[in-house]
Amino acid sequence: MAKLGVTLAGLELRNPILSASGTFGHGLEMQHFAPPGLLGGLVSKTVTLAPRPGNPNPRICETEAGLLNSIGLENRGIDYYLREIAPTLRAAECVIVTNIGGERVEDFAELAARLDAESAVDALEVNLSCPNVQGGKLPFATDPKTAEAVLRGVRAATRKPLFAKLSPNVTDIGEIARAVEAGGADAVTAVNTLLGMAVDWRSGKPGINTVMGGYSGVAVKPVALRCAWQCVKAVSIPVIGCGGVGKAEDVLEFLAVGCRAVQVGTSCFSDPSHIARLPAEIDALLEAAGFHELAARIGILQAGGGAPSCKPGVAVKA
Amino acid sequence: MPAPPPDARSFLSEVVSVTPCGADGVLLALRPERALGAVRASRFFMLRREDGLSPAIPRPFSIYRQSGDSIEFLLKVMGRGTRALAACSPGQKVRTIGPLGNGWPALDGDGPPWVMLAGGVGVAPFHMAIEQALAGMDGRAPARPEQLFFLFGAANAGMLYDLAAFERLPARVFTATVDGSHGARGNVLELLSDLQRRGVIPQRVRLAACGPERMLEAVQHFADERGLECWLSLESLMGCGVGICNACPVPTKPDGPRGSWPNVKCCVEGPVFKSDEIALHA
Ligand SMILES: Cc1cc2nc3c(=O)[nH]c(=O)nc-3n(C[C@H](O)[C@H](O)[C@H](O)COP(=O)(O)OP(=O)(O)OC[C@H]3O[C@@H](n4cnc5c(N)ncnc54)[C@H](O)[C@@H]3O)c2cc1C
Ligand SMILES: Cc1cc2nc3c(=O)[nH]c(=O)nc-3n(C[C@H](O)[C@H](O)[C@H](O)COP(=O)(O)O)c2cc1C
Ligand code: FES
């Protein structure tokens, strides 16, 4: 057995596998498919202050190599989450991360303040890809100043570790990563979905109701890997890779470029129990290659010149 | 949050056989790697090949028949997902996630007769429905054969999938095709109205329907106008089938029995809904 444990923003994870927000439910819905005790952590679907009914159909459209979605952040709001879901997570045997989203800078701080006292929640992930209503509907993650302001507000409202989830739809993701680090983030999650669209050329109908939506799945892995690496180079806080992770090899690739952990999203739809088998598959790969400690595989990328600045994490017992 | 049913699992099944069925369908028989209990009619499974030929997103299919240790599906070839499954060879492995969803309510013999309305491949959840209704469901009185009317409609005779299997069941079977190539000319609701007009089927009936959304909208309207109890099995677009992607919302009737949230998840709260709970054309 290779040691698979990693530390991340002060949290000890038995392995580097977390679910990605919006692809594994809000709470423990999936425990019969993937027991939390086999995972590093669970990230909730985005929770917002007010309930959001979500977008009309069709909300997804599968394309040649990936998935487009425009769910519209459907969720029942923070009151419901704190009342009905959080209490069920208190006994969960893995790290619990609540992903929060808002339309105004203050929304995030208010959500963080509401969650601060909830013992079930080990960390918050700030979804900066939500449209910024104040600033003209562009996501918070596209402007370093507002991204930093959001993190500052959240930092002031809670002592819980903060992950800042970034968007790949920017010119220089490293700049945004530096901004959220300055704002007080303890880790960066890279990345959310790519902006994409699909159309039926016969009918002219778009693949999803909002025309443009979030693109994810195997097709986005090289883009996500590049973004994650740019973040690794830009900041000294740990980076969590996300985008197109489906196989054990994918996990080790994200770690190779310097990520401390990864999130598994769209591939959960292909087989919702696979995420729980991933740690054993990673172990088998490492052992077969003669490696006994996963943490030692972090940041091994040979990038001639631009050496990753992220130090390998300290291993803990799995 | 609605969770997948407690008996649902993700496992591999071995392909037993793939048999052509009708103009563009196949019967796909699978042997799950672990034994399944008896599955209620109109529950479903997500299926996907893992050899790279299926798309990443698995596709939902109603269980068609269950016998011994194998389960059978009736697939109409539509696009990439169904094409890949229809091209399976015996011995291959298929990712199987289920059993999912709720299934039909108890199709009992204690009230008005049941009229089952199938449109095209919407026939899939009815074979076991008829068998289970006759055997008795949930400890309720079994339906008698004369209480079960099965009305099967399709565009043409080639899409009356596996009709012979239904004709062997002890229920009253009628067909309608839009092109008139089999049974009455027209759709399944016109057939129902005609049979009621002729006194073959009484006015007070209970309805269970599965088919294209336009057909289900018409059935809902028909039931509303006459105040009939009506159950619809929906074939919504799905991503995960287990409640984690939010891709399958079905709008609910405002202030209806499903509560105040404006939609329900077809996969974990359906796919069978009482007609007065949902707003299909919202
Ligand atoms: C609960 C449930 C049970 C089902 N049971 C069966 C069954 O027993 N047998 C069966 O053959 N099919 C069944 N379906 C429908 C089946 O899932 C779809 O036909 C299938 O997903 C199509 O996949 P594809 O990749 O072949 O087509 P795609 O490439 O995804 O689509 C091809 C074309 O089919 C259309 N299409 C795709 N999905 C649907 C859908 N759900 N309804 C109507 N049109 C669609 C698309 O708009 C497109 O025009 C069921 C669906 C649900 C939700
Ligand atoms: C259906 C769906 C819903 C999603 N919902 C959210 C969400 O609510 N909040 C969020 O931060 N990311 C959301 N995401 C983005 C994923 O968490 C992830 O960042 C992205 O899909 C890339 O990873 P993947 O390729 O492994 O899916 C969603 C993705 C999908 C496919
Ligand atoms: S299909 Fe994913 S939530 Fe219903």
- Over the stretch B8-30, which tens digit does the pLDDT of each residue have? 999 999 999 999 999 999 999 99
The band of B254, judged by pLDDT with boundaries at 50, 70 and 90, is confident
Tell me, yes or no, if B57 comes closer than 8 A to chain A by beta carbon: yes
The B residues from 167 to 226 touching A (CB cutoff 8 Å) are: none
| Residues of chain A neighbouring B249 (CB-CB closer than 8 A) | 54, 57, 59, 74
Inform me whether the pLDDT recorded for B181 exceeds 60: yes
At the topology level, CATH places domain B114-235 in Rossmann fold (3.40.50)
Q: Which A residues, 174 through 213, put their C-beta within 8 Å of a C-beta on chain B?
A: none
The domains of chain B are located at 9-100, 114-235
| Proximal ligand: closest to the CA of A275 | 2
Homologous superfamily of domain range B9-100? Translation factors (2.40.30.10)
A20 Cβ closer than 6 Å to some ligand 2 atom: yes
Work out whether strand A60-62 and strand A41-43 pair parallel, antiparallel, or are unpaired: unpaired
B249 to chain A: closest CA residue: A57
Q: Tell me, what's the ipTM?
A: 0.96
> Tens digits of per-residue pLDDT, A69-115?
999 999 999 999 999 999 999 999 999 999 999 999 999 999 999 99
Answer yes or no: do B97 and A84 touch at CB < 8 A.
Answer: no
β-strand B65-67 against B230-233: which pairing, if any? unpaired
Of B56, B245, B249, the CB nearest to A57: B249
**Distance of alpha carbon B203 from its chain centroid, rounded?**
24
Amino acid occupying residue A175: E
C-alpha gyration radius of chain A: 18
User: Which residue owns the Cα nearest ligand 2 atom 12?
Assistant: A21
Question: Is 60 exceeded by the pLDDT of residue A7?
Answer: yes
- pTM for the complete prediction? 0.96
Closest of A79, A85, A76 to residue B262, by C-alpha: A76
Measured CA to CA, the distance from residue B76 to residue B86 in angstroms comes to: 9
Distance of CA B134 to the CA centre of its chain: 17
Residue A261 contacts residue A240 (beta carbons within 8 Å): yes
For residues A150 and A128, give the distance between their C-alpha atoms in angstroms, rounded to a whole number: 8
- Reduced DSSP (H G I as helix, E B as strand, rest coil) percent helix, strand, coil of chain B, to 5: 25, 30, 45
For each of the domains in chain A, give its residue range(s) and CATH number, in order of start. 19-239 (3.20.20.70)
Ligand closest to the CA atom of residue A30: 3
pLDDT of residue B282: 53
Q: For B186-207, what is each residue's pLDDT tens digit?
A: 999 999 999 999 999 999 999 9
